[in-house]
Each structure stands twice: as structure tokens, then as C-alpha cells.
Amino acid sequence: MSSRPSAKPAAPAPSSKVKTLTIDDRLVSAREDESILDAARDNGIQIPTLCNLDGLTPVGACRLCMVEVKGSSRLFASCVTMVGEGMEVVTDSERLQKYRKTIVELLFSERNHVCAVCVSNGHCELQNLAQTLGVTHLTVPYRNPKLPVDASHERFVNDHNRCVLCQRCVRVCGEVEGAHTWDINGRGIGARVITDLNQPWGSSETCTGCGKCVQVCPTGALTEKGKSVREMSKRTRFLPYLTMMREDRSE
């Protein structure tokens, strides 16, 4: 996948102007190259996200961060929508809650997310989302697909049953590590993350074994070997730090 410089500038342009807008009836100010999501977070307003991760190019894929903007009947993915002067943003409404719950339900129905036996149980972003949004059961039927587990790598495991296709692994590998081991194969409901040209992870020639993909994975799809139920917690803090250090050096 190609990273687009226009989607989110790495460093604020010196000429970037400050805009004032309203988020959930609160007046906030933000640079014009900031997304609604960033502006909201800067002001302590939490919007649910899944594919978004600080330090990676936003892709707007999970659709959980959608917000309402007054004057438009359309919804906007706040991670990829830049702020505008006088914008009136609503981050939480009955309609948004309804959609977010359904999207989380769709994710649970898509593959085999069985928390009770998952190494990421208790440290899983999908599980957290379900709890925050009050998804106690599914109204859509489970699809129960038969999916493989790739444990060919000496230190890591890729369990397709837990993957939500957020593309964080694809982005961190391409944009931060620079290896581009991960990509997506197939399309629609048949899409899968793959290593190299769809060969076992363990035989990948491009994988550096850095483990960044494992740390940024929001669920128990990419995990370290040797962990039992509830033992796999992820460390994503390295990413903003790396990004910040690289920006410093380029200036």
C-alpha cells in the first residue's frame, strides 16, 4: 500500500494556521493540518478507534471513529477528516452509538474471536471496544470461518482467527521498519494479511524479526510465542517516540 504524504503531514508546516471549532459543544482550537480525532483527543474527548494508531498513516478503514458534522447528513471518519474553521462536530449520538455497536458486532461475527481462550484476553482493543460500547451479545449471526494459524516463525504467531484487518502490521512494517513484509491478499470477506508473497512467516526473506507488527496488533492475531491465555499484553508506546525522534532529526 502506498503512503500518502497528503493524508497526515509528519511535522506541522510552519505556515499552518490555527482553526477554531466546536467538538461536542466545546470550543477547541487546532492546527489546520490536524484531524478531528487528534483535536478531540488533545481536549480529552475520546472517540473510539481501532485501525488508527499514533505514528502510522491513518487509513479510515474501521469506520468506528465516524462523527457527525453539522450541516452535512454524511458522516466523517474523524481520523482522516481535517478540522475546519467554525466546524461543529458531534462525536457521540444515538445514531453514532448504534453504528459503532453494529460495526463491532460485525467484527466479532467475521472471524473466531473467542476471548476466553485468547492470549490477548484482557489486553485486547477489540474486547475493550465491545465493553465500552456495551456489546454484550451479537444480533448478527456468527460466520464461523475455518482459518489457519501460521506458527512457522520462531518467535511469533499469526492467528487469522483473531485478525480484524486493521492494517496496522502492514503500515508499521512498511512505514516504520521499512521492510514491507506484510500486505493484504484477496478481497472482501476473503481478505487476509500475508507475509511476503503469501508464504509462511517463518520463511519470509524480508522479515527482520523486529516484532513491531506484533506490538501494534490490536488483538490476539499477532502474538509472541510462549504466552498463555491473558498473558500477551502489547507495548505500542515505542511508536510515537520513534516518530518524534525521526521528525527531530529531519528538521
Partner 1 sequence: MISIEDLSQISQTEREAKDAIPHQINVCVAASCLSLQSDKVKEALEKEVEARGKKDCCKVRGVGCLGLCAAGPLVAVEKEKVLYHGVTPADAPDIVDALGAGPVARIQGNLDAPFFARQQKIVLENCGRIDPERIEEYIAADGYLALVDTLTAMTPIGVVQQVTRSGLRGRGGAGYPTGLKWATVNKSQGTKKYVICNGDEGDPGAFMDRAVLESDPHRILEGMALAGYAVGAQQGFVYVRAEYPLAIKRLKLAIRQAERMGLLGASIGGTTFSFSVDLRLGAGAFVCGEETALIASVEGGRGTPRPRPPYPAESGLWGYPTLINNVETLANIPTILRNGPEWFAKIGTAKSRGTKVFALAGAITNTGLIEVPMGMPLREIIFDIGGGVPDGKAFKAVQTGGPSGGCIPESGLDMPCDYESLAKLGSIMGSGGMIVMDETSSMVDVAKFFMEFCMDESCGKCVPCRVGTAQMHELLRQISAGEATARELALLEHLCDVVKSTSLCGLGQSAPNPVLSTLHYFRDEYESKIAAGEAAAAGHAAAHAAPAGGAA
Binding site for partner 1 (CB under 8 A): 1-2, 4-7, 59-64, 66, 75, 77, 80-81, 98-99, 102-103, 106-107, 109-110, 139-141, 143, 164-165, 167, 183-184, 186-191
If the CB atoms of residues 44 and 190 are measured against partner 1, the closer one turns out to be 190
Pick between residue 147 and residue 184 the one whose CB is nearest to partner 1: 184
Our CB check for partner 1 shows the closer of 119 and 221 to be 221
**Cβ 44 to partner 1 shortest distance, Å:** 25
**Beta-carbon contacts of residue 158 (< 8 Å; ≥ 6 apart):** 149, 150, 151, 193, 195, 201, 221, 222
Closer residue to partner 1 (CB): 64 or 232: 64
Q: Which is nearer to partner 1, 2 or 250 (CB)?
A: 2
Tell the smallest beta-carbon distance from residue 98 to partner 1 (Å).
8
Least Å from the CB of residue 170 to partner 1 = 10
Q: Residue 188 CB, nearest distance to partner 1 (Å)?
A: 4
Give first-to-last CA distance, the chain, whole Å: 26
Class of residue 242 by CB neighbours under 10 A (exposed 0-12, middle 13-18, buried 19+): middle
Q: Give the shortest CB-244-to-partner 1 separation in angstroms.
A: 25
CB of residue 230 to partner 1, shortest distance in Å: 26
- Based on CB atoms, which residue is closest to partner 1, 153 or 160? 160
